[in-house]
A and B are shown apart, each in its own frame.
Chain A
Amino acid sequence: MRAIGSSLPRGDAVGKVVGATPYSGDLSMPGMLHAVTLFARRPHARILALDLGEAGRVPGVVCILTAADVPHNRFGLNVPDQPVLCGPGDDEHASRVRFVGDKVAVVVAETVEAAERARALIRVEYEALPVVPNPVAARQTGAPVLHAAHPDNVLLHYRVRKGDTLAGFAQADVVVEGEYSVGGQEHAFLQPEAGLAWLDEEGRVAVACAGQWAHEEQEQIAHALRLPDERVRVIHPAIGGAFGGREDISVQIVLALAAQKTGRPVKMVWTREESIIGHHKRHPMTYRCRTGATRDGRLVAAEVELVSDCGAYASTSTKVLGNATIMAVGPYDIPHVSIDAYTVYTNNVPSGAFRGFGAPQSHFAAESQMNKLAAALGMDPVELRLKNALRDGSLQVTQAPMPAGVSMDHVIEQCAESIGWRRTAQGWQRPAAAQPDSPWLRRGIGFAAAFKNIGFSFGYREHCWATVEIHGGGDIDRVVVRCAGSDVGQGAHLAFQQIAAEALGIEAEKVEIVSADTATTPGSSGSASASRMTFMAGNAIRGAAEKALAMWRDEEDRPVIATYEFNPPATTPMDDMGRSTPNFTYGYVAEAVEAEIDTETGEVRVRRVVCADDVGRAVNPQQVTGQIEGAVVQAQGWATIENFVQRDGLVLTPHLSTYLIPTVRDIPDRVDSIIVEVPDPLGPFGARGMAEMPFIPFAPALTAALHDATGVWFDHLPLTPVRVLETLDEQA
């Protein structure tokens, strides 16, 4: 039996289901201390003074960490603009809190109760500063400056000029204009942030935590503690979901600092509310779009201005902006394009990585434009898409050709056919939704498509390490794969196992994975993000396995050990016209949604979703289906009920009772996962990344369905009853 393409069961399934698997919050050590964080809980203020006197006298308190204890008080995944701890002092940057989740102190004590008691007794004197509530206010003259390096509060502006949009629009017979806005989203992973830090047997500061990229966390901890990287060890035990929400540092640095300071193991577990105010969200964005086409449905020009709310700190906002920029006109070949994209500092909770990474926002705008254009042209939306879909060699908005293996038209056709689109002599034709017998219920069917990069973009030196050890005599008894890549719950380690087994021609059960510990997997694998882990680690493992297998055949020594670093083709950053080779490969997806709307209550019910996702090669079809279904549900939450509400930088929805995520009663009645397998020429055994893709086209497919049902366009997310009813009212 081939290892690849089999739905082998997950080795971690039973332990997780019965509750036996230890997550970082479950770890304990003898002599362990407990830490709690004092969050600022105000959006913008200067800290004038900090009085720890009374707090320090609480019995059981061992130490209280403040800004003064942090050797290098800055961190950040792309831009180190965030203080580890905010506090009074000479450092103007760290003396200010810029969002509710900024941290002021960490209390370390013998018990959680003592730490909490002491935290309540810390006296902080704040001087309230005017709050920057949104990007519009942030860009007004005279707005408070949040970071001295960016006096206009604009962290980054990307400018893309492809062709000549004036000339392009002059050729257009039909021009569609639209304004769109989308909200933030909380990751709501099952396991809130938690970690345990200690000094290990080699005197290193070790941190066991839930993250997405052990080596990056190691580097950021070392940077803040002014230690050489090798004096810091990061271990990821079982991880309770991530979705991008663990890309940024949460508890890691302060725990390392506490362990270093006390010499004892220190544990910290955030509450759900701390998690919701403490880590970044999906970027809320606004769009203004113009799209022009000729009467026969050829796209000729597009203009987009997009603004993303970066929040208080950069996090991954610059990278998300890059993605949002190159996807701002969707997966189409348009000769004349002009895009201006801005990410702007505010006093909101920082925005950062979240499944799709700028693609869902941009595709909502771009695909809504396509659906409106189809309506304006009197053309079927599938027909219009197929006329303009990116193909091998098409020029991206960055003027670089698409990498080989583009399957956009293929997934569009498969998806459309599966939900009942018909090819007729006049072209593709949308099926009519069967209408229920009710005065207030209406049904419709909508369509959208998307593409998304796999791996890191814009000149980042993408790479991934793996080591394969083959044990045995004449036959292979056992294989150990060392690869740092984290299994955040997506099943990466099973994919590693299957890929190694395939490369070695053995059963997957013989493969053991050692991972996500910087001490035992010394080479970086990069982050479990950007739909890249199967692709990157798969290639590294395949490379190492093939190398090891050659040694196994040629050499006498046992075991054989081979290490391999995979380097995909290089990418480049955008220049001032947006010219670049942004990515080395993409994934392609199309979705059709059948939805029902209650025009009196504003309720939206998703009856059926068909998702055709080109995964190149399904390493484990069951896991692929799980990713598709999970992404669809998560996207439905973002599009309909998930509503992260901030008022002047304060979070009004800090609980899962107010920030509503879908339950089993809210999710689609049916999801058809269509696994398309057009091999990626660069992928391991043809596999592409796929974890983000099914999220991306859902929202515009849903609003297209609602338009089919009601004749009304829904251009602003989320579609809570209030939004739905107001939109129906406005367009009535």
Chain B
Amino acid sequence: MKSFELYDATSVQEAVALLSKFGPTSKVVAGGSDLVTGIMKDWVRGKGMPYPEKLIDITTIPEMVGIKVANNALTVGAATTLSSIVDSADIKKTWPILSQSAESVASPLIRNFATLGGNINQRPRCWFFRGENFACYKKGGDFCFAVTGDNRYHAIIGGELCYIVHPSDTATALLALNAKATIAGPSGQREVPFDTYFTGPREDVLRENLLKHDELLVNVTVPQPAANTRMAFFKLKDRQVYDFALCSVAAVFTEENGVWKDGRVVLGGVSPVPYRAKVVEEALAGKNIKQAAKDAAGRIRTVARPMSLNGYKVDIAVGLIERVLTSALV
């Protein structure tokens, strides 16, 4: 790994100023579990992805670390560790799928320093993107090796140009929980719902979200669930722990006498962005969830466009959606 300069930012404004000053070879770092010991250690770089030279530590910014519950909403600083989220009794009680999704990430050791912001903004796991021999679109190259190569772990929905799947587990839960992101940049702070936070390859193949290089995620706000809200999360992996999602499902919905009123079904591991399965939600509208779950889950087939080797993920998604909907009712 190349050596780098490390700056301890003491405020959000300072971090933004440093990013603006240093330009694209600077990056925000928190736990560094992927940026430092993944991307940088493995020299993942390309024409559109310069090797980081300056890292700006944001764990030294007090307002970016911590969990607050106020005005019926949860706010989690982006530099809060996943372990803190897992340990939070408030989160476990009111937003259990955020807790579960955080606990499904990596290993206890990594969760002790990996952060929520890092998890939401981590780079894809695609083995061509991570591999030194593949100058793919996402690194500024001119090819997607998954199209002709081994694509068993790639996108089944929404891939175009590039067929990564979004790797974040907490993002899947946050989108289902209708959370918002606070973003800081040179012109100040703004709030963005996670509905529009993630961006697909067609918008900009070099990134997975709307953060510009001089912007950073400050915190995440999750609204209090309405009365009669049910929620569940499940993540399927090749290995039981310490692995990324083959497919994950987060469902959050309100119901009355078992009938779907309103809610969200979000899939991870299947699309370049955390994927809100509106076809499934629509098929559930006004229906008895238990009775409609199987049919509704099957609707995912109408939007899936599997590649040569990943058709199995469609079957998995169908099965998991039904299970998650059913388990949320228990």
Contacts and interface: CB of A to CB of B under 8 A. Distances in A.
B329 interface: no
Interface in A58-92: none
Given A650-B133, A726-B312, A660 B152 contact: no
Interface in A395-423: none
Interface string B115-131: 00000000001011011
A665 B312 contact: no
Query: Which range contains the number of B residues in contact with the other chain?
Result: 20 to 34
A13 interface: no
Interface string A595-612: 000001111000000000
A437 to B, nearest CB: 15
Contacts of A653: 127
Interface string A690-732: 0000000000000000000000000000001110011001000
Contact of A663 (B38, B240, B319): B240
B42 A655 contact: yes
Contacts of B236: 601, 603, 721
B316 A721 contact: yes
Contact of B42 (A273, A641, A660, A722): A273
Contacts of A726: 312
Interface string B296-321: 00000000000001101001100110
B238 A720 contact: yes
Contacts of B3: 113
A641 B150 contact: no
A601 B320 contact: yes
B238 A660 contact: yes
B127 A665 contact: no
B150 A665 contact: no
A722 B247 CA distance: 12
A607 to B, nearest CB: 14
A535 B310 CA distance: 48
Interface in A608-655: 641, 643, 645, 647, 650, 652-655
Given A641-B238, A721-B236, A602 B133 contact: no
A519 to B, nearest CB: 37
B312 A721 contact: yes
A715 B212 CA distance: 49
Contacts of B128: 652
B312 A722 contact: yes
B318 to A, nearest CB: 8
Interface in A310-367: none
Nearest to A651: B131
Contacts, number: 69
A647 B149 contact: yes
B320 A42 contact: no
Contacts of B149: 647
Contacts of A662: 239
A722 B150 contact: no
A665 B240 contact: yes
B150 A652 contact: yes
Given A601-B320, A602-B312, A666 B240 contact: yes
Interface in A662-690: 662-663, 665-666
Q: Which of A603, A645, A657, A725 has the most B CB atoms < 10 Å from its CB?
A: A657
Given A41-B133, A600-B315, A721 B246 contact: yes
A451 B314 CA distance: 42
Contact of A645 (B150, B312, B319, B320): B150
Contacts of A643: 238
A652 B131 contact: yes
A406 B38 CA distance: 51
Nearest to A42: B133
A722 B307 CA distance: 13
A660 B125 CA distance: 14
B152 A722 contact: yes
A600 B238 contact: no
Interface in B96-143: 125, 127-128, 130-133
B241 interface: yes
A266 B239 CA distance: 39
Nearest to B244: A657
Contacts of A601: 236, 316, 319-320
Contact of B315 (A654, A658, A660, A725): A725
Interface in B197-235: none
Contacts of B130: 655, 658
Nearest to B145: A647
B150 A647 contact: yes
B242 interface: yes
A410 to B, nearest CB: 36
A600 B313 CA distance: 10
A440 interface: yes
B240 A658 contact: no
Interface in A261-275: 273
A721 B269 CA distance: 14
Contacts of A658: 125, 127, 130
Interface in B1-53: 3, 38, 42
Interface string B241-280: 1110010000000000000000000000000000000000
Given A113-B3, A647-B149, A641 B239 contact: yes
Nearest to A646: B150
Q: Which of A113, A645, A658, A662 has the most B CB atoms < 10 Å from its CB?
A: A658
B130 to A, nearest CB: 8
B52 to A, nearest CB: 16
Contacts of B133: 41-42, 650
A234 B149 CA distance: 44
Contacts of B316: 600-602, 721, 725
15 contacts: A42-B133, A600-B315, A603-B236, A650-B131, A652-B131, A655-B42, A655-B130, A657-B38, A662-B239, A666-B240, A721-B236, A721-B238, A721-B312, A721-B316, A722-B152
Given A650-B133, A666-B241, A726-B312, 9 more contacts: A601-B316, A602-B316, A641-B239, A657-B38, A658-B127, A662-B239, A663-B240, A721-B316, A725-B315
Q: Which 4 A-B pairs have the closest CB atoms?
A: A600-B319, A665-B240, A652-B127, A725-B312
Interface of B: 3, 38, 42, 125, 127-128, 130-133, 149-150, 152, 236, 238-243, 246, 309-310, 312, 315-316, 319-320, 323
